[in-house]
């Protein structure tokens, strides 16, 4: 989304809005003890508390409702802080096996993945208390299990400061976007580098939530809309789940509208940064993001984004409303959607040999939407010299803007019929990722000589000039083709006949946007390490030309038809080196193979 500069008037607006907004919080005060309210609520939502209040509040909730709340630490951060989760239900199903046996949908609500955007922590505790006291979502806890993680990025939360989010109106101080190790957790879902994400994925593997709700605050342009809701599967993933995803999104948007919000069902990021006239485009996030990850598990992911230019009390109220809506919708439909998800698991196990999308894009086709913005000007900045958008919040204005919301596959592959084979030398690279996500695999007990595989050989490799998340990303061009290769014992067989087949494709297809290859996990395989010195190559080339008239004719045609080749001495010598037995046949060979039949000796 576009970014603008914080205006001092934002604090004035925040204070002016408090009188109207505080009754929402105060309505629960007569029945809630001091220990069950947040620092934020007690301050009139001017402040947010430090992390120490999270385990204290969690323990207080469990003490007040011992038959409905359990809390524990599901991980430890690199700086040694506990990662707290609360399980809340009236069903008594406080372990995953009980929830599965009883067919109860599990809903994971996650706050503070970006710890400066901390609306979800304060809103979640407020909603939770009101639900437990019977003031909201009546009866919902009988029909589901709520897992509430108030703060995902705990170390980032404790990097506390007044200006950590300069383009955000409140709270007075807040945490930091990234972890103590510099990871952006909402870029880490598939690669799972961080200790925090590995802990979260263990929680996900244990509980298998039907739905994950990720609570954020946007940044960027100024407008009247106060929240956006995105859900997947909707454009992508299992077809039956897409219909349910749309139903869930639309119902949540309608609930919020009934409560006075101006919700959006797409993320309001301009096509051209800082230019409202460019309009918007919808899409499917790649699986580095929470909203693009859970569809690969045949589960629902919801991205909730309040608008950072709204005062903090207003954002907390709206986020609270979103959490309550989620619980009401999941209580009403979750059992049915859980059955759909189970059926999607069975269908995913049959994806072998079918065409599957790995990446998505919006088409150029657009429709006009009425968008509630403000009057604005675009003039050169006296500071930067760049064209700058300036908004006038005293003058609401309806913008008539294009929205590109027809989403189609940008990359498709034909899935292998059986699965993937990881040779022993690369098993240590791939195995941790498979284990982190719960993707099934089996090691080979014995050698497999001349295995009939498909191999991907890169014809072009492009490495990113700058690192991302500590990785040098790689983009590969090439194709799969049949080969016979000797495979040693200890190779890993990853069958596609499993519920997490989409995850296996996303991890192991070399051109997928967040694959192990895309994040640079196999870069060694695409670096040339052996060379033939020029004086040797000259002699070798003459010998090859002298004994092979056909090669001589081929070389001559290349000189005549390819001027760039003819003018490049290195390319001309390389032409012969690649045909010589000294050439490294593994150079450019992607070190994961495809199989159309299961291997012998897999266990």
Q: What is the CATH number of the domain that holds 145?
A: 3.40.630.10
User: Are 518 and 551 within one domain?
Assistant: no
What was the pLDDT predicted at 21? 40
- End-of-domain residue from the set 329, 344, 359: 344
User: Are 557 and 483 within one domain?
Assistant: no
User: Are 124 and 206 within one domain?
Assistant: yes
User: Are 337 and 456 within one domain?
Assistant: no
Instruction: Please tell me the distance from the alpha carbon of residue 288 to that of residue 188, in angstroms, as a whole number.
Output: 5
Given a cut of 80, is residue 576 above it in pLDDT?
yes
The tens digit of pLDDT for each residue in 499-532 reads 999 999 999 999 999 999 999 999 999 998 888 8
User: Are 103 and 68 within one domain?
Assistant: yes
For the chain, what is the domain count?
Answer: 3
User: Are 522 and 418 within one domain?
Assistant: yes
The β-bridge relationship of strands 355-362 and 300-306 is unpaired
The sign of the torsion formed by the CA atoms of 561, 567, 573, 574 equals negative
User: Are 552 and 516 within one domain?
Assistant: no
Is 397 a member of any domain? Answer: no
pLDDT band at 24 (very low <50, low <70, confident <90, very high): very low
Q: What angle do CA 238, 244, 245 make, to 5 degrees?
A: 80
pLDDT band at 25 (very low <50, low <70, confident <90, very high): very low
Report the C-alpha dihedral over residues 365, 368, 374, 376, rounded to 10 degrees. Answer: 50
Is 237 a member of any domain? Answer: no
Instruction: Assess contact for 113 and 290: CB atoms under 8 A.
Output: yes
- Boundaries of domain holding 497: 414-528+587-595
What was the pLDDT predicted at 601? 62
User: Are 541 and 456 within one domain?
Assistant: no
Given a cut of 70, is residue 123 above it in pLDDT?
yes
Report the C-alpha dihedral over residues 179, 43, 109, 295, rounded to 10 degrees. Answer: -60
Is 101 a member of any domain? Answer: yes
Is 494 a member of any domain? Answer: yes
User: Are 309 and 211 within one domain?
Assistant: yes
Instruction: Assess contact for 108 and 213: CB atoms under 8 A.
Output: yes
DSSP string computed for 521-550? TTGGGGS------HHHHHHHHHHHHHH-HH
- End-of-domain residue from the set 344, 367, 390: 344
Whether this model's pTM surpasses 0.75: yes
The tens digit of pLDDT for each residue in 424-482 reads 999 999 999 999 999 999 999 999 999 999 999 999 999 999 999 999 999 999 999 99
User: Are 560 and 523 within one domain?
Assistant: no
Is 60 a member of any domain? Answer: yes
Is 183 a member of any domain? Answer: yes
User: Are 56 and 146 within one domain?
Assistant: yes
Is 305 a member of any domain? Answer: yes
User: Are 514 and 469 within one domain?
Assistant: yes
What was the pLDDT predicted at 530? 83
Is 358 a member of any domain? Answer: no
């Amino acid at each position: 989304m576009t970014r603008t500069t914080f205006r001092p008037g934002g604090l004035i607006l925040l204070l002016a809005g408090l009188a109207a907004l505080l009754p929402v919080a105060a309505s629960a005060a007569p029945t809630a003890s001091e220990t069950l309210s947040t620092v934020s609520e007690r301050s009139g939502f001017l402040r947010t508390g430090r992390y120490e209040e999270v385990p204290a509040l969690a323990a207080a909730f469990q003490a007040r409702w011992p038959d409905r709340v359990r809390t524990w630490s599901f991980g430890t951060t690199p700086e040694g802080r506990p990662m707290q989760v609360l399980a809340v239900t009236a069903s008594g199903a406080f372990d995953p096996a009980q929830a599965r046996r009883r067919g109860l949908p599990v809903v994971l609500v996650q706050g503070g993945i970006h710890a400066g955007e901390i609306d979800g922590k304060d809103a979640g505790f407020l909603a939770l208390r009101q639900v437990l006291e019977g003031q909201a979502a009546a009866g919902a806890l009988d029909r589901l299990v709520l897992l509430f993680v108030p703060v995902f990025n705990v170390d980032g939360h404790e990097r506390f400061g007044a200006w950590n989010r300069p383009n955000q109106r409140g709270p007075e101080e807040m945490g930091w976007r990234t972890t103590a190790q510099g990871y952006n957790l909402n870029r880490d879902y598939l690669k799972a580098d961080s200790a925090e994400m590995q802990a979260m994925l263990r929680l996900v593997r244990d509980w298998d939530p039907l739905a994950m709700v990720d609570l954020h605050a946007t940044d960027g342009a100024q407008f009247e809309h106060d929240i956006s809701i995105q859900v997947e599967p909707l454009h992508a993933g299992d077809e039956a789940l897409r219909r349910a995803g749309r139903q869930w999104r639309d119902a949540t948007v309608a609930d919020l509208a009934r409560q006075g919000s101006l919700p959006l069902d797409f993320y309001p990021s301009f096509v051209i940064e800082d230019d409202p006239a460019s309009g918007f485009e919808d899409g499917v996030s790649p699986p580095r993001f929470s909203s693009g990850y859970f569809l690969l598990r045949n589960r629902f992911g919801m991205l909730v984004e309040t608008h950072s230019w709204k005062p903090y009390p207003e954002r907390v109220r709206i986020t609270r409303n979103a959490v309550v809506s989620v619980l009401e919708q999941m209580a009403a439909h979750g059992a049915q959607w859980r059955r759909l998800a189970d059926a999607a698991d069975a269908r995913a196990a049959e994806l072998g040999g079918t065409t599957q999308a790995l990446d998505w894009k919006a088409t150029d086709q657009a429709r006009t939407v009425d968008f509630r913005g403000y009057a604005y000007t675009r003039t050169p900045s006296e500071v930067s010299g760049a064209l700058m958008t300036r908004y006038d919040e005293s003058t609401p204005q309806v913008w008539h803007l294009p929205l590109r919301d027809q989403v189609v596959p940008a990359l498709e592959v034909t899935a292998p019929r059986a699965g993937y084979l990881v040779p022993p030398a690369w098993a240590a690279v791939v195995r941790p990722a498979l284990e982190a996500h719960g993707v099934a695999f089996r090691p080979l007990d014995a050698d497999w000589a001349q295995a009939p595989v498909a191999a991907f050989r890169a014809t072009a490799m492009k490495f990113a000039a700058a690192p991302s998340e500590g990785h040098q990303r790689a983009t590969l061009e090439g194709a799969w083709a049949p080969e016979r290769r000797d495979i040693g014992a200890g190779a890993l067989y990853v069958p596609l006949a499993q519920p997490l087949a989409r995850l296996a494709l996303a991890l192991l297809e070399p051109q997928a946007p967040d694959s192990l290859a895309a994040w640079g996990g196999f870069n060694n395989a695409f670096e040339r390490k052996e060379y033939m010195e020029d004086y040797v190559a000259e002699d070798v080339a003459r010998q090859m030309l002298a004994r092979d008239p056909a090669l001589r004719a081929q070389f001559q045609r290349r000189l005549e038809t390819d001027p760039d080749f003819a003018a490049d001495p290195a390319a001309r010598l390389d032409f012969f080196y690649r045909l010589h037995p000294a050439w490294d046949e593994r150079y450019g060979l992607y070190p994961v193979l495809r199989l159309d039949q299961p291997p012998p000796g897999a266990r």
